[in-house]
């Protein structure tokens, strides 16, 4: 499989496994108003009891704390062949802890030097527990998922052509991807995360690819070379198609064009709060380089206010050797929205290197202004097509220690305390057979009722003791 087809950086005809986004903010939790006591009262104390709502989707990556970065890399383990295979790895944001999560060997057929097994275009699920990726391990490009540690890889697509992941839906239940399965250029599709219910979202002349799901789940951004006159493209008929950024709703309607630039605008990725998109824009190269130079831009979600963040157009001609200079590509937001990870050629190129064999490394920068650029990889060959996952913390202990009932307050007489706190407490502590509704676990509901009864008992006891004290004070007058 041609590596130029993969990187596809300067052609519209071969738009590579163009790297999409990571996932978005979880909007899929059940409404609190559906969680009711049998009597119909709103479970307002649920937050205090720390309940777990059964059936809620996985937490999403945005917003969240910054976790590991997931990338594709070649020539990472000492291979000497220029065209070695691509494998996937995770790495900490400071460049430490590189860990490979795939290791499939360089050739599908040892007798065929061109039968590379590539793992490419990795994306995290919203909770960073799963990875979706493209693989050629069966001889053609298909979409797979696996656990974040590389275990339990499962094939999810079985159609002819190439299938490449775009991003997970905010609730983690679906994946938007792009495919050539219908014997034409790339189109956008949606499927369930287990590969079921695959459906086509776009169906127009021209490439529609690299989809990214918005944090609120309502829209999908993608880049397209759709022809003038096609939905979203109002250019006069006959105008040469250009790679521009569009959004579409999840039913395939309401197509909106966001960019209208003479060069390439590609690889849109939503910010964690959905207010912006990061993307690649190709600008004219600075002499003596020729062609175009890619930069990382951001813009508002409606396409306004484009800002060049990487702004690295001038490089040392001795290292660029007439090729496009830094070529900053594939920007992805961090889960907390403060930084952007991208890949770049700015570290220099060996004599005779090309777009696909040059030393491509991974960097991060501030998302606000492009400052504080940090290089996090330093290995020969290709590093890039990254995604940024959320920080995964160890699961909390699901066992809750039993509630210890305080010693009952003894009133002077029964009439001085309308309810015996000891009896109420004993009754609440024995309420371990309460069955929750709408996904509330029985033990959790019991804890809520216990706490509520304790509060009632305590206030009743306080009122009773206040009466006793008042009567004692009057008796001394």
Q: For the domain that residue 197 is a member of, what is the CATH number?
A: 2.120.10.30
For residues 432 and 329, membership in a common domain is answered with no
pLDDT band at 398 (very low <50, low <70, confident <90, very high): low
Does 158 reside within a domain? Answer: yes
The whole-chain average pLDDT of the chain stands at: 74
- CA-CA distance, 46 to 448, in Å (whole number)? 7
Q: Which range has the worst mean pLDDT, 79-88, 106-115, 139-148, 226-235?
A: 79-88
- Residue 360's SS3 state is strand
Q: Which of 390, 416, 446 is the last residue of a domain?
A: 390
pLDDT, tens digit (0-9, with 9 covering 90-100), for 278-322: 999 998 877 666 677 889 999 999 999 999 999 886 544 544 444
Pairwise pLDDT comparison (292 vs 430), residue with the higher score: 292
Mean pLDDT to the nearest integer, 143-162: 96
pLDDT surpasses 70 at 344: yes
Neighbours of 362 (CB within 10 A): 24
Q: Which residues contact 232 (CB under 8 A, 6 or more apart)?
A: 224, 226, 246, 255, 256, 257
Tokens of 187: 């189109």
Angle between helices 421-429 and 442-475 (to 10 degrees): 170
Does 444 reside within a domain? Answer: yes
pLDDT surpasses 60 at 363: yes
For residues 176 and 294, membership in a common domain is answered with yes
Say how many Å lie between the first and final Cα of the chain, rounded. Answer: 101
Which residues sit opposite 212 in a β-bridge?
A: 221
Pairwise pLDDT comparison (56 vs 122), residue with the higher score: 122
In total, how many domains does the chain have? 2
Pairwise pLDDT comparison (185 vs 402), residue with the higher score: 185
pLDDT, tens digit (0-9, with 9 covering 90-100), for 64-112: 899 999 999 985 544 444 456 889 999 999 999 999 999 887 677 888 8
pLDDT at 408: 54
Q: Which of 331, 365, 390 is the last residue of a domain?
A: 390
For residues 409 and 315, membership in a common domain is answered with no
For residues 385 and 450, membership in a common domain is answered with no
pLDDT at 461: 53
pLDDT at 303: 97
Half-sphere exposure for 9 (CA within 13 Å, toward CB) = 29
- CA-CA distance, 341 to 196, in Å (whole number)? 32
Q: Which range has the worst mean pLDDT, 139-153, 234-248, 309-323, 364-378?
A: 309-323
- The answer to whether 278 and 271 are in contact (CB under 8 A) is yes
Half-sphere exposure for 251 (CA within 13 Å, toward CB) = 2
- The answer to whether 332 and 24 are in contact (CB under 8 A) is no
Tokens of 4: 């130029």
Q: Which range has the worst mean pLDDT, 231-235, 270-274, 337-341, 441-445?
A: 441-445
What phi, psi does 299 have (nearest 5°)? -150, 160
For residues 421 and 331, membership in a common domain is answered with no
- The answer to whether 276 and 290 are in contact (CB under 8 A) is no
- The answer to whether 162 and 8 are in contact (CB under 8 A) is no
pLDDT at 452: 53
Among 58-67, 347-356, 358-367, 431-440, the range with the most confident prediction by mean pLDDT is 358-367
Mean pLDDT to the nearest integer, 142-152: 97
pLDDT surpasses 60 at 382: yes
pLDDT surpasses 70 at 402: no
- CA-CA distance, 218 to 184, in Å (whole number)? 27
Q: Which of 337, 368, 390 is the last residue of a domain?
A: 390
pLDDT at 388: 97
For residues 179 and 234, membership in a common domain is answered with yes
- The answer to whether 444 and 51 are in contact (CB under 8 A) is yes
For residues 272 and 326, membership in a common domain is answered with yes
pLDDT surpasses 80 at 31: no
Does 294 reside within a domain? Answer: yes
pLDDT at 291: 72
Does 308 reside within a domain? Answer: yes
- CA-CA distance, 284 to 289, in Å (whole number)? 9
- The answer to whether 286 and 325 are in contact (CB under 8 A) is yes
Mean pLDDT to the nearest integer, 428-455: 46
Instruction: Specify burial of residue 92 (Cβ count, 10 A radius: 0-12, 13-18, 19+).
Output: middle
Neighbours of 38 (CB within 10 A): 10
What percent of the chain shows pLDDT beyond 90?
A: 46
pLDDT, tens digit (0-9, with 9 covering 90-100), for 443-470: 454 554 555 555 555 555 555 555 555 4
Does 396 reside within a domain? Answer: no
400 alpha-carbon distance from chain centroid: 31
pLDDT at 325: 56
Pairwise pLDDT comparison (226 vs 395), residue with the higher score: 226
For residues 14 and 111, membership in a common domain is answered with yes
Does 327 reside within a domain? Answer: yes
For residues 408 and 369, membership in a common domain is answered with no
What percent of the chain shows pLDDT beyond 70?
A: 61
Q: Give the structural domain span for 37.
A: 32-57+402-475
pLDDT surpasses 70 at 161: yes
For residues 322 and 406, membership in a common domain is answered with no
pLDDT surpasses 80 at 350: no
pLDDT at 314: 53
Give the closest residue to 307 by CA, choosing from 323, 334, 331. Answer: 331
For residues 144 and 208, membership in a common domain is answered with yes
Does 395 reside within a domain? Answer: no
- CA-CA distance, 415 to 205, in Å (whole number)? 85
- CA-CA distance, 206 to 230, in Å (whole number)? 9
Does 397 reside within a domain? Answer: no
Mean pLDDT to the nearest integer, 22-37: 28
Mean pLDDT to the nearest integer, 5-27: 33
For residues 293 and 227, membership in a common domain is answered with yes
């Amino acid at each position: 499989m041609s590596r130029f087809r993969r990187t596809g950086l300067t052609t519209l005809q071969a738009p590579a496994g163009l790297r999409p986004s990571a996932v978005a903010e979880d909007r899929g939790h059940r409404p609190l108003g559906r969680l009711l006591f049998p009597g119909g009262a709103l479970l307002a104390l649920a937050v205090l009891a720390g309940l777990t709502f059964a059936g809620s989707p996985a937490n999403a990556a945005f917003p969240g704390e910054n976790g590991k970065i997931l990338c594709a890399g070649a020539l990472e383990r000492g291979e000497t062949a220029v065209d070695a295979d691509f494998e996937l790895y995770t790495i900490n944001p400071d460049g430490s802890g590189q860990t490979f999560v795939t290791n499939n060997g360089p050739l599908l057929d040892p007798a065929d030097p061109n039968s590379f097994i590539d793992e490419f275009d990795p994306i995290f699920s919203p909770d960073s527990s799963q990875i979706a990726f493209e693989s050629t391990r069966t001889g053609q490009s298909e979409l797979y998922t696996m656990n974040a540690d590389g275990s339990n890889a499962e094939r999810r697509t079985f159609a002819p052509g190439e299938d490449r992941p775009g991003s997970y839906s905010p609730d983690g239940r679906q994946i938007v991807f792009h495919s050539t399965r219908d014997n034409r250029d790339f189109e956008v599709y949606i499927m369930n995360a287990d590969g079921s219910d695959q459906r086509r979202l776009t169906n127009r002349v021209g490439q529609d690819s690299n989809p990214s799901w918005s944090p609120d789940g309502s829209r999908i951004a993608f880049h397209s070379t759709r022809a003038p006159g096609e939905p979203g493209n109002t250019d006069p008929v006959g105008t040469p198609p250009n790679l521009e950024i569009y959004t579409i709703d999840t039913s395939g309607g309401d197509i909106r064009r966001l960019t209208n630039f003479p060069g390439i605008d590609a690889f849109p990725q939503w910010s964690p709060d959905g207010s912006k998109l990061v993307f690649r824009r190709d600008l004219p190269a600075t002499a003596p380089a020729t062609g175009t130079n890619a930069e990382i831009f951001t813009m508002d979600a409606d396409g306004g206010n484009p800002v060049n963040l990487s702004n690295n157009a001038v490089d040392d001609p001795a290292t660029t050797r007439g090729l496009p200079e830094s070529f900053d590509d594939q920007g992805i937001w961090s889960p907390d929205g403060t930084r952007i990870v991208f890949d770049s050629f700015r570290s220099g190129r060996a004599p005779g290197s090309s777009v696909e064999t040059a030393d491509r490394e991974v960097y991060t920068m501030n998302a606000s202004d492009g400052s504080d650029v940090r290089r996090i990889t330093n290995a020969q060959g290709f590093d890039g097509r990254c995604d940024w996952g959320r920080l995964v913390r160890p699961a909390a202990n699901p066992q809750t220690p039993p509630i210890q009932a305080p010693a009952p307050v003894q009133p002077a007489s029964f009439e001085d305390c309308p309810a015996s706190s000891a009896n109420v407490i004993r009754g609440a502590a024995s309420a371990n057979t309460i069955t929750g509704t709408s996904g509330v676990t029985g033990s959790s509901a019991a804890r809520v009722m216990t706490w509520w009864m304790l509060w009632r008992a305590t206030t009743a006891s306080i009122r009773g003791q206040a009466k006793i004290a008042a009567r004692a004070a009057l008796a001394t007058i």
